[in-house]
Structure 1
Amino acid sequence: MTPKASIRSLLLFLAAIAAGSALAETVNVGLGSYSTTLPPGEVGPQNSSGQDILPKVSSAFSLPVQTNDFWSSLIYPFYSDPHSNVLYAHPLMVKAVGTGLRIGHTPTHVFAANDYLYPWSQQLTVGVAGLAAAQTRTHGYGDWTATARWADEAQTMEATFGHGLPFVFFQVTGGNAVVTPEGGFTTWYNQDGTLGLTIQGRHYGVFAPTGSTWTGSGPLQSSLNGQDYLSIALLPDAQPATIALFRKHAYAFVTDSTVDWQYNEATALLQTTYTYETELMESNGTSVDQTMTALYRHQWLNTTATLTGYAYPSVNGQMKLYEGSTFTTELPFGGVLPALPDRGDYNRAELLAHVQAVATESLPVGPTYENGKAMGRFAHLVHIADQLGATAERDHFLAEIKSRLEDWFTVGGAQQYAYLDSWDVLTGYPSGYGADNQINDHHFHAAYAILSAATVAQYDSAWAAQENWGGMVNLLIRDCNNWDRTDTRFPFLRSHDAYAGHSWAAGHGDFGDGNNQ
């Protein structure tokens, strides 16, 4: 290398360092702060080989990056599959591959050691003639639906699927639509672009535009009568009346899914409304601009919506089919007690001695999960000490919690939070259990800190004011389960699956048996 080239390389290196320093930023939130760069030596999201990666999204993707969902392996390829792992939407399960979307349904359970499973089984693949995509990318998502996109030099395909949907909705360009049954199949309905297929004992409807024809004996191909859309549905049976019902809804393509809550404090009743947005792709005299959805047991037990007589088996019990794009459930919710009441039927002297013994301890520095559990232990002891009238011990626990949280909520110490805008995620460092390099368990790790902060707030509301330390507490809540759709720093409800009614633990969910909790 010449001296001139060496000088140029050195200048470029120094410029890069300067640029990185300029991008590093401490963001103040009340009395607290977080960093927009990682602490030295720490890591963000990676794949299983320890390589830093970015979300796998299409060029048109414009939403906050969602993780910790049933479909997360589509956006976060932890094990480096360029398409996806199995996505258990229920009642359908799907898997992206280079030639399209594999679709399946498993109607019976199996026991594998201690596991109760409805494992992956494939009945057909939907694609475009000639499609050989190098990757399948996330194109968009709703609160419980997702859209995948395939693209190569000549062909594209988009597929929308989600919880409850017996349909998958496709849009294709660059070639004929291709439906490839897995193994032998029978065609029991073939009329005006609509097929009824039975594959491995499962029944499917294929709904192309009116006037379309299908050719071949497997794979099946159609030009879609010059249009670019089709849908596939899992049918409860192989009856003509059933496929007619599904055809009525097959052209109402789902474009979004949203959940909303209304709480009546006087009656302690929580109403949850689930809504699909749809676009009617064709009006053929019988089609309606409403979809159909299968309700989980916890939904159909608590709705007054009129259900059809159709149902699907699933790992979570029977899913009952509903005609319509919105339904509401109602459940009683009496709130959550911060502590159990003092019943008094115990040895107060012995309990006080235990509390006093712990009150000699302090809260050391530690990773988010272990440190969180230690703070949570002290938070519970605050209430016990208060019930015992042990105010000195109570205040010791509160002071320790405050000190540790304030350290966590301040950039520059041994513990801090960092926000990565490439993944729209806030992570505490030092981390553990994949919270940093897999976006795992944020709702677990942060919950201890949030519980501890809420306990402090019961006794010192000024400490928890937004202009003091409460702003950082709310930031942790937003990272785990952002309730504010206008705050695009985080996805809406990262961990909580509003349709399934529980949270998901793994950031990537890249497992053959689905995500875990």
Structure 2
Amino acid sequence: MTRRLRGAVALLAVAVLLGCTATSEAGPGGPPAAPSAVPAPRPPDVDLTILPARQVAPTPGMRLAEGLSPPTNRWFSALALGDAPQPVFPLPLAVALTATGFGVGVPQVTTTATGVFGPYAPQLTVDVGGRDPEVSAYDAASVTMDLGTGALTVVEGSPVLHWTAANPGAARFDTPFEPGGPAGSAVAAVGGRTWLLLATDPDGAPAAPALAADGRSADVPAGGGLAWLALPDGVAAGSAAARTLADAAAHPPAPTTLRWAVSAGTATTELDLGAPTAVVRLPHQATLAPADDLDCDGLGAYATVLGAATACAGRTAAWSVPAVAVDATLDVAALPEAERAELADAVTADTERLAGDAAPAYPADTYFGGKALARDAHLLTLATALGLDEPAARLRERLGAELRLRAEPDGCARRAERCFVLDPVLATVVGLPAGFGSEEGNDHHFHDGYLLEAAALAAADDAAHGDGTLAAALAPVADLLAADVAAAGPVPAGDGPAIPALRTFDAFAGHSWASGYAPFADGNNQESSSEAVAAWHGLALWASVRDDAALGDEARWLLASEAASARAYWLEPDGGPTSFASLVWGGKRERATWFSPAPSAALGIQVLPVTPSSGYLAGPEGTPPDGGARVRANLAEALGVAPADLWADPSAWDIPFGDQLLAYAALAGPDDAAHAAALLRELPDERIDDGSTRAWLLAWAMTRAAGG
């Protein structure tokens, strides 16, 4: 195996209508890659029938039209899954179903000592005589609910709700509207917010709403529609901005199409909204791509929990983020001889502890087991790079045996753990024993990312130092794990629902969602942004082993997108009471974790696992653009010290996640990295995370101190 396993410059782009494809070409420093539609890819070449079919836990409720794949891990999952529908947050709006219709509002954003909050609070409630709601369609950025009397369509990022009547009838409102708004609309003011009511006839042409005399209802013909547009903060109905947005919002929604592209320096996302409409641009979408046709000049903005969202009108939103390098290991060969010798001793000691005669068994579940496998795979790359033949051989044997065991397709037919099943109801691959709610779809990208990285590193090593059979042995199951979280298009699953495209990743938000059902009033959430980034790093390495260019391009797009949003909303949020956040929800961004109140844990969970791609934590180029000031500020807040005093008291780092914080500190600059290396040498063993080793963290700090 080469010391560095870099992916080739990605010139082919893959895209989805939850699935369509795209191609682009741009060299380093060139313009952002511009997606353009080409024939849709065929689904991944995987066979789901090789796994035993078993529902690990019953699904509590499902409001989903026949034939649709259960939409776990989406911003709207709670509309379709769980005991009762919960509010959803297609920013800038928040929407919830009622017994006979729906409510909608623009959340009022408030700040406390621990976070930024924008809960669902309806400003309008609409009664359409609905009953038995179910999700009838969804795509890249929209979801449609069949309410029995018609269809409600919600588009992520749009300040507009659209209702299409199945039969002639009336929609009733709790707030009266008055005629006289722009584009023939009616107007209502609620709590300082101006709302416009627009209408379309059965042919989709704009029409004036057929308001009742009291303004509290409007008649709608069969096939006709109503749309509710929330104007931006402080924008009045008579303004030019309101006219522009109203003209755009009148168009009935069409299916949204996602395309992506990667080049040597950028990753580009493009969302075609199907027709000109009103939409917002979130903070991470600031760098525009050539395909973007939005008009955002002078249209105002909405306050959201993620920051100001700029109001725009148009059909195609596109933006670019910096690419993230994909390396398999750290460049320890470039270190001074004395440091290489020190690392060799550390690798030997860690290998004895983890792969010696008294080594503990790997955890059986996919999360802790996956972390341990990736940990040992990192250690193997160091042993190989340092020429440590005996430790490398021991790690190679232990890793290979465990990975082969877990990759037995029929393993769960013969044992209760270290194996995988296909849940035929949720259309997802579940590892046994399940953990952290993985039987409900929770955290699959975290778990599978660790396993894919371990499989990729071990298989690449086996190709160079073994018999070359490991990749083929692991591929049938590892390919299924990749498809489970990141299939470019739906994957048929026999008689059951297909694995959906991009199960966990939200292209508009630029990040993943961790909860399968999202049974929360604050929407879906993700805590460990760094484990999500690591998942796509592992996917990219596996794509290289499989020589799958399309999967590699997709993985690099996911990696760059997730990294950019991790910086924008978790590590470097704009505004709010804290320097960093640890949980981002649809309806709030807060300093809290599921497992610990310690500020060090809140930052540490945004760092682990340290991979060769973790430079993104400091900045888009892998180095801090501000001289490390933001890294030091985050650390100071986590440790409860002043930024200038980070290194004054070594005992301050003897805290939960202290090892991860030292790894993060090494990103602030070479001097900080040297301080981190010195403390990592002395950190108590119990402070080293079970997904890492002292040798790996020391190698990370040493290479950063050397400018690597």
TM-score by length of 1: 0.80
Match runs of 1:321-400 below 5 Å? 321-342=311-332, 343-344=334-335, 346=339, 347-348=342-343, 350-358=345-353, 359-360=355-356, 361=359, 363-364=361-362, 366-400=364-398
Deviation at 1:396, TM superposition (A): 2.1
Query: Which residue, out of 38, 44, 54, partners 1:37?
Result: 54
Deviation at 1:421, TM superposition (A): 2.6
Alignment deviations for residues 201-256 of structure 1 (CA, whole Å, 9 cap, x no partner): 111111023244211546x1111366521111111222323343233223322222
Note if contact 1:73-1:510 (Cα within 8 Å) is conserved in structure 2. yes
1:445 paired residue number: 447
Note if contact 2:152-2:163 (Cα within 8 Å) is conserved in structure 1. yes
Whole-Å separation in 2 of the counterparts to 1:498 and 1:123: 28
Larger strand proportion of the pair: 1
Residue 162 (1) aligns with residue 146 (2): no
RMSD: 2.6
Note if contact 1:302-1:331 (Cα within 8 Å) is conserved in structure 2. no
Note if contact 1:45-1:439 (Cα within 8 Å) is conserved in structure 2. no
Query: Which residue, out of 473, 484, 497, partners 1:468?
Result: 473
Distance 1:328-1:227 versus aligned 2 partners, 3 A rule: closer
Whole-Å separation in 1 of the counterparts to 2:380 and 2:68: 41
Report the AA paired with residue 321 of structure 1.
Answer: A
Deviation at 1:478, TM superposition (A): 0.8
Deviation at 1:187, TM superposition (A): 4.0
Whole-Å separation in 2 of the counterparts to 1:405 and 1:127: 55
1:117 paired residue number: 117
Distance 1:302-1:212 versus aligned 2 partners, 3 A rule: closer
Whole-Å separation in 1 of the counterparts to 2:458 and 2:259: 30
Alignment deviations for residues 317-373 of structure 1 (CA, whole Å, 9 cap, x no partner): 111123221132223314222222215353235314423423312543511112111
Note if contact 2:351-2:395 (Cα within 8 Å) is conserved in structure 1. no
User: Counterpart of 1:248 in 2: which secondary structure?
Assistant: helix
Deviates more, 1:425-434 or 1:342-351: 342-351
| Count of residues in Structure 1 that have an aligned counterpart in Structure 2 | 448
Report the AA paired with residue 114 of structure 1.
Answer: T
1:7 paired residue number: none
1:19 paired residue number: none
Deviates more, 1:494-503 or 1:171-180: 171-180
Query: Which residue, out of 221, 224, 231, partners 2:220?
Result: 224
2:279 paired residue number: 293
1:234 paired residue number: 230
1:276 paired residue number: 273
Query: Which residue, out of 422, 429, 434, partners 2:432?
Result: 429
Distance 1:394-1:362 versus aligned 2 partners, 3 A rule: farther
Query: Which residue, out of 462, 477, 500, partners 2:482?
Result: 477
Distance 1:334-1:441 versus aligned 2 partners, 3 A rule: closer
Distance 1:179-1:336 versus aligned 2 partners, 3 A rule: farther
Note if contact 2:103-2:122 (Cα within 8 Å) is conserved in structure 1. yes
Report the AA paired with residue 34 of structure 1.
Answer: L
Residue 308 (1) aligns with residue 297 (2): yes
Note if contact 1:150-1:158 (Cα within 8 Å) is conserved in structure 2. yes
Larger helix proportion of the pair: 2
Whole-Å separation in 1 of the counterparts to 2:503 and 2:379: 30
2:22 paired residue number: none
Whole-Å separation in 1 of the counterparts to 2:488 and 2:221: 44
Whole-Å separation in 1 of the counterparts to 2:326 and 2:94: 35
Report the AA paired with residue 180 of structure 1.
Answer: F
Deviation at 1:142, TM superposition (A): 1.1
Note if contact 1:181-1:199 (Cα within 8 Å) is conserved in structure 2. no
Note if contact 1:426-1:476 (Cα within 8 Å) is conserved in structure 2. yes
TM-score by length of 2: 0.59
Whole-Å separation in 2 of the counterparts to 1:29 and 1:260: 23
Match runs of 1:248-259 below 5 Å? 248-259=247-258
User: Counterpart of 1:197 in 2: which secondary structure?
Assistant: strand
Deviation at 1:164, TM superposition (A): 1.0
Alignment deviations for residues 475-510 of structure 1 (CA, whole Å, 9 cap, x no partner): 101111212346573111111111101110100111
Deviates more, 1:315-324 or 1:477-486: 477-486
Distance 1:318-1:429 versus aligned 2 partners, 3 A rule: same
Deviation at 1:126, TM superposition (A): 2.3
Whole-Å separation in 1 of the counterparts to 2:229 and 2:278: 10
Report the AA paired with residue 330 of structure 1.
Answer: S
Whole-Å separation in 2 of the counterparts to 1:513 and 1:386: 47
Alignment deviations for residues 169-215 of structure 1 (CA, whole Å, 9 cap, x no partner): 11123453324236xx6747358862111111111111023244211
1:57 paired residue number: 64
2:613 paired residue number: none
Note if contact 1:123-1:181 (Cα within 8 Å) is conserved in structure 2. no
User: Counterpart of 1:475 in 2: which secondary structure?
Assistant: helix
Distance 1:263-1:349 versus aligned 2 partners, 3 A rule: closer
